[in-house]
Amino acid sequence: MTLKLIQETENRLFKRKETIFETEYSGPTPSNANIKKSIAEILKTKEDLVVIGKIHQIYGASKAHITAKVYNTTEELKKAEVINKKPKKAIEKKK
């Protein structure tokens, strides 16, 4: 999987960077965790500060466009983002 930064804009109101990446891959679409890790390495930040917005696959090609937001601090991330996903392990334990 290769990632290429297409666009990066600074959002001063939310104290974050809004980015668009293009990825080329072979096989299945990369997982959010793998993409998050790669974006954190490219932008030299922590994985916890990266939020994947959307992975838009290009039909008939092994390419995808990824929108991601990178926050400056965890406090700013908590103020701006609402995370609705529950960890899978917690759901399995309840059953």
Mean pLDDT by 10 residues, the chain (95 residues): 93 94 91 93 94 91 94 91 68 57
Query: What are the beta bridge partners of residue 9?
Result: 18
Find, among 41, 58, 51, 44, the residue nearest to 85 by Cα: 51
Written as six digits, the tokens of 94 are 């309840």
Distance CA 10, CA 88 (A): 33
What pLDDT, on a 0 to 100 scale, did the predictor assign at position 88? 66
Q: What is the pTM of this model?
A: 0.79
